[in-house]
Structure 1
Amino acid sequence: MDRNRVLLERLWPMDGQLALSAEAEHEMRADDYVLEMPQSGERIVGRDRMRAMQREYPGPPSIQVLEITGAGDHFVVLGRSDYGGDIYYVANIVEFGNGRIVRETRIYGAPFEPPAWRAKYATSPPQ
């Protein structure tokens, strides 16, 4: 199995239980790591800044991984995130370099009611 995929599966296991310590997660990131969150306009630059931000996170993150796709140095992790009782879907684009995560772009979307005109074409995805 792809080494980078194994690292991602350790970081975000499919059972939703974050298995790594904060320090082990910290070690998976490159020193010049960048996290982009386009919807909020935030950019966290540096592994140490990311770790400092995580220390102030208001409660443990709750992420249900739905799928991990990709190979080599580029992956996408799709999931559902509970943020203070609000559910968001997340697409996390992950880039590796030298065996560490160098960049993530996290795109969040809140669920919404589909328009009625699409009902005859659509089915509900599995939960």
Structure 2
Amino acid sequence: MDDSTIRLALERHWAASDAGDFTAEHDIYAEGAVLDYPQSGERIRGRANIRQSRLVQPNTKRFKVRRIIGTGDLWVTEYVLTYDGAPSYTVSIMEFRDGLVVYETQYFADPFVPAPSRADLVERPGTEAP
């Protein structure tokens, strides 16, 4: 499977995730896929279990992809996952085999107030001049 085909599959996956289309969202996973959440210490094994874990999650979720980067069998998506209006900055690392995800790790980070000590060194994305 070439990179453009995998990129399209990822775009469909994240669009389906945002739309709450649990069937299309999980088309990207192999039957024996493994999903790890290192921060909570959870591992979910199998496409059906991954799908079920998301079906029973009670929060309203929205997904906004910031960027997708990868090549070959390794792809990373940076996105903002909003649970009930609260954003979490998220990274998904997916490993593909035969065009399907066989392993995924997701990392989550909550927003935080920037340190005043570096205020004169930073810019805020979206506020810079063209």
What TM-score does the superposition give when structure 1 sets the normalisation length? 0.87
Distance 1:126 1:73 in 2: 32
Letter in 1 for 2:79: G
Per the TM alignment, residue 108 of structure 1 is displaced from its structure 2 partner at its CA by 0.4
Match of 2:14 among 12, 15, 18: 12
SS of the residue aligned with 1:18? helix
SS of the residue aligned with 1:114? coil
Mapping of residues 58-77 of structure 1, within 5 Å: 58-77=58-77
Deviations, residues 7-57 of structure 1 (Å, cap 9, x unaligned): 0011114xx973583223323211111111111111111111111112212
Check 1:126–1:94 CA distance in 2 against 1; reply closer, same or farther (3 A cut).
farther
Match in the other structure for 1:2: 4
Contact 2:13 2:26 in 1 (8 A): no
- Is the helix fraction higher in 1 or 2? 2
Paired positions, count: 125
User: How many percent of aligned residue pairs carry the same amino acid?
Assistant: 36
Contact 1:10 1:20 in 2 (8 A): no
Check 1:50–1:31 CA distance in 2 against 1; reply closer, same or farther (3 A cut).
same
Distance 2:19 2:110 in 1: 26
What TM-score does the superposition give when structure 2 sets the normalisation length? 0.85
2:26 maps to 1:22: no
Distance 1:17 1:45 in 2: 19
Unaligned runs of 5+ in 1: none
2:93 maps to 1:93: yes
Moved over 3 A (4+): 16-21
Check 1:3–1:19 CA distance in 2 against 1; reply closer, same or farther (3 A cut).
farther
Unaligned runs of 5+ in 2: none
